[in-house]
Structure 1
Amino acid sequence: MHTLADAAPEPYWLRQPGAPPAADPLAAAETADLAVIGAGYSGLWTALLAKERDPGRDVVVVEAGTAGWAASGRNGGFCAASLTHGFDNGLSRFPGEMDTLERLGRRNLAEIEETVRRHDIDCDFARTGELHVATAPWQLRELGSFHSAAAQRGLDVRLLDRDAVRAEVDSPTYLGGVWDRDGCAMVDPARLVWGLRRACLDLGVRLYENTRVDRIETTRAGLRLQTLRGRVDARHVALATGAHGSLLRRLRHYVIPVYDYALMTEPLTDDQLTTIGWRHRQGIGDSGNQFHYYRLTADNRILWGGYDAVYYRGGRITTDHDQREETFRVLARHFADTFPHLGGVRFTHKWGGVIDACSRFSGFFGTGYSGRLAYAAGYTGLGVGATRFGANVMLDLLDGRPTELTSLKLVRTKPVPFPPEPLRTGVIQLTRWSIAQADRHDGRRNLWLRTLDRVGLGFDS
């Protein structure tokens, strides 16, 4: 497609100017009170919160690449209050504590905003909210139910008919929508990572990049992280590696690596932006099972991503999968359908990356090595905000005392595990086909999807 002809095969966010130079790799023996494996959002929030809780705590972060090189620097930049991958998913899985989870999630988002301000992190953080749009009649019905349940709980949600939603953002595909006015912020994800990295260093966290942890060993005083040229002996360890979680064998049963893809347009002209409106600059997601997410950047580009959620046979993670031309062509066609009045807009970047997905879509938590290690994983694409909550959970678990967070069912329970290979690949591909069929047939879920729903393995993109 001509609109893709000049698109650079790289993540837009990570190629911006301003990336910090890499820290030195670990090349000696170190000790620490807390060692964090991974310098994405999950690891950086854990290190930062650990120092804020106890400034005297000695914290080391060890990262296999550079801070934010994986999911944290490749996502759409939606920082949601939801801890449960959306209100509907949370209500279906944790109905008894949904009010508490919403309260904690909104507080978490407010504290992220406060941290960005306090540490002077220049990441275009803006509380614009998120617009959920319907592009088929069956989606209108589901959005109406969401609005009713959310409004009853006092959430700031506005139900929009066809004319009202098109007055916000003009697309001929929109039939209606719900604007969650307070539950989501837009953020430059890479600059958020770089800002958190700087804040950690300012508080005395020691960071080693380009240092892969090969194995974890038990010592008399705690745990040892063994790397190629050095090691870290620590009393406690926080494992914050997302889809790259092979260091703890049990996580392989619960987490699958799913590839997500995105495009970035050239900056819109003032006239082009006027044709679609978008004055309030909300993040937008359509409401299919295979959904798109999209938003404006600070310089008025449109990030357009989602729809395909691709699991490659055997769960193999490789940079070869970061580019998928078939998906990019599909995304470009869908963009043209949504905004036909932007037909001349070209894409400047195209990229993919791995999401750590689990069967309940929301993060799960636990400990290992007799409580000396804590982990958080499985955010399934909504981790920009929820990882900060997960960092607090990990620190509470390592403290070994009950808290409001550790008493939550969300924290105490695990997702349904995925079956082993090769059955895992077959199940996932059948499910992907089934959800595509549901989108084509008014949202009706076939027998396979209904069976997965009943056993807690409901899967969509």
Structure 2
Amino acid sequence: MSAPYRRLSLWLDQVADDGDALTPRPGLTASTDADVVVVGGGLTGLWTAYYLTENDPGLDVLVVEQEVVGFGASGRNGGWCSALFPASATTLAARHGEAAAQAMRAAMRDTVVEVAGVAAAEGIACDVAYGGTVVVARSAPQLRRARAEAAEGPRWGDETELLDADAARARLAATEVRGGTYTPDCAALQPARLTRGLAEVLEARGVRVVEHSRVVGIEPGRVTVEHLDATDDSRESGRRPARSVVRCRHVVRATEAWTPRLPGSRRAVVPVYSLMVATEPLPQDVWDAIGLRERETFADHRHLVVYGQRTADGRLAFGGRGAPYHWRSAVRPQYDREPRVFAALEQTLLELFPVLADVRVTHRWGGPLAIARDWHASVGLDRSSGLAWAGGYVGDGLSTTNLAGRTLADLLTDRDTELTRLPWVGHRSPDWEPEPLRWLGVNAGLRAMTFADREEELTGRPSVVERLVRPLLG
């Protein structure tokens, strides 16, 4: 049964090699009761269940997953456990005040340590390396952005070091490096091992985790679930799957890019695809030429996001945006693979590291992430209905999911803590525009970032296009 799931990413492929068959757990086939129902078996849902059992071990928690744990972004992302948050500190300060922005930045930095600490305490072997993040500047406009980022960091308590060309190349020997930035607040890890391991910890604590079970309705005190038969895949057959009802006190929506599939949530977020490639394990002489000796995560200061890491088994895993947004927020398996984007990623790798010219790419994969209309992740609980939510991470979810889980657990157990007073708690993003405006706007923004990078290559000056579209892109 592992074959269809292991092909979703390098990370799930490695999990299968570890001996995890990726066989779906039994689905929900009868109505039941629970204290808390968590909709979604990714890291948001699993961390929420974990901290709920920390706060109140007596709670009956049920996690409902449509596919298998780690099927979504939690099993396919870039492996950056970072202090990044989709809304900048400046944006947070403008909306919530400077003290709130500083508190949010401190919470994100603490979360990097928390994730790795829990993994160690629970015996989850997920290849954690505290290497930090190096972001190189490869043009004059990129260097200007690096300097601005380093100068702004102390205001928010962020330790962002400005690197000259030699110091940047000492960490990442890419081509045309003029300088860069370095922050220690990031750990590289293997996300699918973290996610799958966390689910096992939860089951040992008595949390029920059901898979191949699709939530088709969320109401106060009630969740309606369809059981998807793992043998004949009733999703593709003509018959209607059997339905069950879970009666509960609280429901947590932890569905991220799949949120638009839920009734009434079509425009809550847009699913935008990010794709990745990974090389075969590289020999030491190649790594000597590239750097990343501390397994730093890395990027550069271009506008269209790219990201990478040196894996524990010596591969270079590299990803980026650029895949199109699909009409009416569609999420389909065929969108995980975009040959044009894979080719662009591989070409970018060669431009950064010519030493990879004869290296084989062994894995190509992708998946959707969720973007709120104001690019502001949020977490919250509507106490009148018992409905809670978290999401809108814009690709920064590997760590932010943990902060969300801790915060939701405090909210659901009526704890007034520093976490429940953070500025993203209770934030409500506006809905996205209806189609065709949504399709036109999102895809225009993606193309604008590509054009902005090209503009800067040609002119050597900061992009005019980027400045014009910046207000639309959070």
TM-score (norm 1): 0.90
Task: Name the residue aligned to 1:194.
Answer: 196
Cα distance in 1 between the residues matched to 2:28 and 2:420: 33
Q: Say if 2:79 and 2:191, in contact at 8 Å, map to a contact too.
A: yes
Question: Which residue of structure 1 aligns with residue 166 of structure 2?
Answer: 163
Q: How does 1:290-439 map to 2 (within 5 A)?
A: 290-367=304-381, 370-399=384-413, 402-439=416-453
Do structure 1's residue 76 and structure 2's residue 75 form an aligned pair?
A: no
Q: Using the alignment, how far apart are the partners of 2:222 and 2:8 within structure 1?
A: 37
Rounded Cα–Cα distance in structure 1 between residues aligned with 2:299 and 2:320: 9
- Secondary structure of the residue aligned to 1:244 is helix
Is the 8 Å Cα contact of residues 306 and 319 (structure 2) preserved in structure 1? yes
- Structure 1 stretch displaced more, 409-418 or 330-339: 409-418
**Equivalence for 1:450:** 468
Task: Report the counterpart of residue 122 of structure 1 in structure 2.
Answer: 125
SS in 2 for 1:51: helix
Indicate conservation of the 8 Å contact 2:159/2:183, yes or no. yes
1:441 alignment partner AA:
E
Aligned counterpart in structure 2 of residue 240 of structure 1, from 237, 254, 263: 254
Distance 2:155 2:329 in 1: 41
Q: Paired residue for 1:100, among 89, 100, 103?
A: 103
Shift of 1:402: 4.8
Give structure 2 stretches of 5+ with no counterpart: 1-5, 227-241
Distance 1:448 1:185 in 2: 30
CA contact (8 A) 1:289 1:436 kept: yes
- Percent of pairs with identical residues: 33
The 1:144/1:76 distance shift into structure 2, 3 A limit, reads same
**2:12 aligned to 14, 32, 35, which one?**
14
- In the TM superposition, residue 108 of structure 1 has moved relative to its aligned partner by 1.9
How far apart are residue 365 of structure 1 and its match?
Answer: 2.7
User: Residue 280 of structure 1 corresponds to which residue in structure 2?
Assistant: 294
> Residue 130 of structure 2 contacts residue 294 of structure 2 at CA under 8 Å; is this kept in 1?
no
Instruction: Answer yes or no: is the 8 Å Cα contact 1:9–1:350 preserved in 2.
Output: no
Measured in 2, the distance between the counterparts of 1:68 and 1:412 equals 26
> Counterpart amino acid of 1:324?
E
How many Å apart are 1:229 and its aligned residue? 4.1
CA distance, structure 2, for counterparts of residue 449 and residue 400 of structure 1: 43
Which residue matches 1:213? 215
The answer to whether the 8 A contact 1:147-1:178 is kept is yes
Is the Cα contact below 8 Å between 1:434 and 1:445 reproduced in 2? no
For residues 10 and 246 of structure 1, the distance between their equivalents in structure 2, rounded to whole angstroms, comes to 21
Uncovered stretches (5+) of structure 1, i.e. residues with no partner: 1-7
Give yes or no for contact 2:55–2:409 (8 Å, CA) kept in 1.
Answer: no
- Deviation by residue 1:376-395 (Cα, 9 ceiling, x = unmatched): 12101000000111123323
Moved more, 147-156 or 112-121: 147-156
Tell me, what secondary structure is at the counterpart of 2:419? coil
Tell me if structure 2 keeps the 8 A contact 1:263–1:305: yes
- The DSSP-based 3-state class of the residue aligned with 1:334 is helix
State the partner residue of 2:144: 141
TM-fit CA distance, 1:450: 3.2
Distance 1:328 1:161 in 2: 31
Q: Is the 8 Å Cα contact of residues 215 and 226 (structure 1) preserved in structure 2?
A: yes
Aligned position for 1:265: 279
Instruction: Determine if contact 1:406/1:412 at 8 Å carries over to the other structure.
Output: no
- The range that moved more, 138-147 or 247-256, is 247-256
- Number of equivalent positions: 445
What amino acid maps onto 2:473 in structure 1? Answer: G
TM-superposed CA distance for 1:274, in Å, is 1.4
Cross-structure match for 1:42: 44
Code of the aligned partner of 1:180? T
CA offsets per residue over residues 342-382 of structure 1, 9 Å max, x none?
Answer: 21111001011011112343421344583311011210100
Aligned partners of 1:85 and 1:379 also within 8 Å: no
Residues 1:54 and 2:52 aligned together:
no
Is 1:285–1:293's contact at 8 Å kept on the other side of the alignment?
A: yes
The separation in 2 between residues aligned to 1:86 and 1:280, in whole angstroms, is 27
How far is the alpha carbon of 1:15 from its aligned partner? 1.2
Corresponding residue for residue 225 of structure 2: 226
SS at match of 1:361: coil
Q: Pick from 176, 181, 203: which aligns with 1:173?
A: 176
TM-score for the superposition, normalised by structure 2: 0.88
Cα displacement string for residues 62-84 of structure 1 (whole angstroms, at most 9, x for unaligned residues): 11000001111001100112344
Partner residue of 1:203? 205
Q: CA deviation at 1:196?
A: 0.6
Question: Relative to 1, partners in 2 of residues 1:139 and 1:383: Cα closer, same or farther, differing over 3 Å?
Answer: same
Distance 2:167 2:262 in 1: 49
